[in-house]
Structure 1
């Protein structure tokens, strides 16, 4: 055989050596995983390690690779939830947010339209009544100035709100186009907030996907139960700032229309009556951090964006001396008196906090509030025992599959079958190394993809060896027959693998969940089998032929 260039030999050896070293940590999963977790915790703590973390770090040599294949929900165990987002909740919030703007706009023409009030109406509708119906068209024109024009994908112009006159009232509703856009924004925001909360809990490789128009699939490996996951993502941390109308100790007091009766968090039996429409909401919050107040008590500092800062500053300037309630998840956590104009859009939340409580609250506020309520349609807890059984079943299937393939190759091609078996083992090792390096999650379908790849990996060797047999029957020398076998089988190998790659890409693109897990290992297996079956096998055969220089090959 014509000798392979030295640089190619070195490259093949380096790739194989890297694959072995990068795959080794997966054989010591229970030692490497605590090592990695301890390193991450130490990094988050600024380099300070506890004795337990130091012991975990010592479980694995720092000079060896430590990347692992993350295990999916079906292998590690964990929680599975299917949630339905109540997107209609956001319509009410949009309508409630439009009312102060409409009221302020009509104040400018109050001499003509008279008194302005909000009439009872469905939650997704704003009905405004004026005391002088003769000026309804003037009021209608003023409110329509607040409507934001939008452009649809077809190029047609539309508006976010529909403002119409019904009888003597002005009626404001969300347009159908804005409802669709709002639904999409609500789903995207919910996905991002859930992902933030799950990531901050330190869980591994969560799956968070949108399903249909209003559903979200959440799968988190390694978490204790579905109820624990619901508690994690269901914490709303909804922050709002409301004007205080009065206080009371009567839990059954009637707050009046468009008002709220909320309890004080740290004062049992004490209640606040608040204006239902908040001055500023947590949606306009851009930062929150643990802090201390003037008396060195734990607190949380916050900062609004420009729009929120402007509203916060205007309200405090116009309401000096009044109480201003800070509401978190339906409880008044603080109701300070406005002493002066608070410019700059920043402030501090005080209360009966601990240092740990301020840290947790700051994290929840930064992650944001869920924009709408979620109903959980399906919940499952997958125990780690089931995952361990799946891993053992996958190992058994992989080992049996590899043994059967190896025995077949040896029985069919003798010594050349052993060359193919060396390439087969390296194929699996390199595939595991790549999966570990890119952080691809291994699932039960992924194990099926690996097992299938082992069977497909020897296809290229079968084509090569059969081609070598043909060349030997035509009277070629052993060295020349081997060389021609590789050269002339390459085009058929390439065609077969390209079609396989296209199938893998389509499964990954169009599929989700388990299908994608299968597609990842299947596609990587095709790429690694191309390398091992063609280049590694040729390298091993070339070494054999150059050392033994056989006059005849029994194939």
Structure 2
């Protein structure tokens, strides 16, 4: 009389578990076809290919190799230190000394010349302060001081410039919505970056977005414009001051190119921008409204307030983009932390430039060593071969399980299929990118799933050989195999998580596929397989043998 309620309770539990398995199956089936994108009509193949992203090795895309000109970042840092040193000397009451770089051939050296008699010791006290700890100080034969940046500081600045360039490019590419880009150091050359963009077939557009703010700066105008560099040199007695430089540009929208003499050290540069948004001027033409950081705003206010139109020394500013003067404007009033950039932009150019100012400026300009569009034909062959390998391997495994474990092999094969459905559904829901290493992760997940079932089935066989009933053997088999399964899966998941955290591109794709595949395998191998066994045992007569 006690058996009936027990069977009834077990039936309710099995019904609930079976319903949960069906719900999971439906959810992840939906993820395969409609998860990431809005539901669209089409063939099953179209729905799958539109919903699961493919990497560069499968889909094709753009392959770039960039070189970062770190010498520019070093020269810019030295120029800023030189300007700061000049201010520090003035604060210390040392007047008459000239501070600047010696010549372009030695961008790492600052020269302090024209030191007044008896002031050499005072100058040394200033340059030996903590602000100039990265420089070695020597005395030249003419009595001037030379500050040369230490090699350790040069190496550190070069490494930071390359790392900052990578992060800036990655942020800009992410804003473009490219799935699973590869942006990393290129080991075949010094100061080089590898960029791979799956599905992007317009490298010119990518180059424009990456490089067009390689150097965006606002400089004080010293003189000009002139028609040619020769005219500029003639107007300055054939000598360009060491703190100045000649830059070509139009100066305004539609104007012919001219030459301007600008102060070498910028008043504001790309890293000083806090925000930038595309807008329109009073005539409806596209422009960019910007906001500066607090420190840059204070510095910019000091300069513009000293050189606005109503002061004794009115001046003008040049907006330099890609080492070309885009606009020259007089300073009508003091500007603190916000302003506008105009210059005959198209709406697309205004959108791109504001995007790049928001994501930060590159610390140095870059050049393109290699630009290549990877066709999808290799990707199609890789997909075909990868799918063939996965299907062949899965069929072979399923056949083995049926032959070796007989009826229980059907259990394992059902769990294996559900595992694959969950994994593909996860990729559909998250928009994860499938690469060749990702396909390898899928195949490895299949192997791990089989391994879990083998552990469980062998434990059940041991319990049956010990004389236990089928129900007791199944219960003890799962209980004893559970610890081993958890141990193997956790250690593999930890290893895959490390790959995901420190890897890039396809390596992260492989790690992500493997991690979720293992989590799905825990669900299918333990929960689903147990429900199938319990359902089978409920229908068998007590004492009937178990096909395993």
TM score, norm. by length of structure 1: 0.82
> What secondary structure is seen at the aligned counterpart in 2 of 1:549?
coil
**1:261 counterpart SS class:** strand
Change (3 A) 1:498 1:348: closer
2:276–2:291: 8 Å Cα contact kept in structure 1? yes
1:194 to 169, 180, 196: 169
Aligned residue number for residue 293 of structure 2: 305
Deviations 1:409-450 (A, max 9, x none): 112222221111111111111222334444443211221121
Indicate whether 1:545 and 2:545 are aligned. no
Alignment pair present for 1:335 and 2:328: yes
Contact in 2 for aligned 1:12/1:535 (Cα 8 Å): no
Q: What is the root-mean-square deviation in Å for CA atoms of aligned residues?
A: 3.4
Residues in 2 aligned to 1:438 and 1:554: alpha-carbon distance in whole angstroms: 39
Give per-residue Cα distances to partners, 1:165-209, cap 9 Å, x unaligned.
333112223344533442343233212210122122232221223
Q: Is 190-199 or 242-251 further displaced after alignment? A: 242-251
1:170 counterpart (145, 149, 154):
145
Is residue 54 of structure 2 the alignment partner of residue 71 of structure 1? yes
How far is the alpha carbon of 1:486 from its aligned partner?
2.7
Q: How far off its partner does 1:389 sit?
A: 1.9
Secondary structure of the structure 2 residue equivalent to 1:241: strand
SS at match of 2:119: helix
Contact 2:85/2:99 (<8 A) preserved: no
CA gap of 1:508–1:242, structure 2 versus 1, over 3 A, is closer
Cα offset, 1:92, TM superposition = 0.3
Measure, in 1, the Cα distance between the counterparts of 2:397 and 2:429: 27
Contact 1:113 1:139 in 2 (8 A): no
Contiguous gaps of at least 5 residues in structure 1:
37-55, 150-158
- Per-residue deviation, 1:376: 4.5
Alignment-derived partner of residue 16 in structure 2: 10
CA 350–518 in structure 1, closer or farther in 2 if over 3 Å, else same: closer
Q: In the TM superposition, what are the counterparts of 1:221-260 in structure 2 within 5 Å?
A: 221-224=198-201, 229-236=206-213, 238-244=215-221, 245-255=223-233, 256-257=240-241, 258-260=244-246
Structure 1 pair 383–133 and aligned structure 2 pair: CA distance change class (3 A): farther
Q: Contact 2:214–2:364 at 8 Å: present in 1 too?
A: no
* Alignment pair present for 1:120 and 2:102: yes
Q: 1:503 to 1:240 in 2, by over 3 A?
A: closer
Give 1:5 deviation, angstroms. 9.3
Please state how far the C-alpha of 1:515 moved relative to its aligned partner: 4.1
Q: Any residues of structure 2 matched to 1:208-287 within 5 Å, and which? A: 208-210=183-185, 214-224=191-201, 229-236=206-213, 238-244=215-221, 245-255=223-233, 256-257=240-241, 258-264=244-250, 266-287=254-275
Give the Å deviation of 1:223. 0.8
Whole-angstrom distance in 2 between the partners of 1:264 and 1:208: 34
Distance in 1 (CA, whole Å) between partners of 2:343 and 2:204 is 29
User: Among residues 29, 32, 39, which one is paired with 1:26 in the alignment?
Assistant: 32
Distance 1:27 1:362, change over 3 A: closer
Tell me the CA shift for residue 401 of structure 1: 1.5
- Tell me what 1:94 maps to: 77
What is the alpha-carbon distance in structure 2 between the residues aligned to residue 458 and residue 85 of structure 1?
Answer: 48
SS in 1 for 2:278: strand
Query: 2:317, 2:487 → 1: CA distance?
Result: 72
Alignment partner for residue 417 of structure 2, among 400, 421, 425?
Answer: 425
Scaled by the length of structure 2, the TM-score of the pair is 0.83
Q: Give distance in 1, aligned partners of 2:320 and 2:78.
A: 20
Question: CA offset at residue 134 of structure 1?
Answer: 3.9
Q: Is the 8 A contact 1:452 1:522 kept in 2?
A: yes
| Structure 1 contact 82–376 (Cα < 8 Å) conserved | yes
Provide closer, same or farther for how the CA distance between residues 367 and 517 of structure 1 changes in structure 2, counting only shifts above 3 A: closer
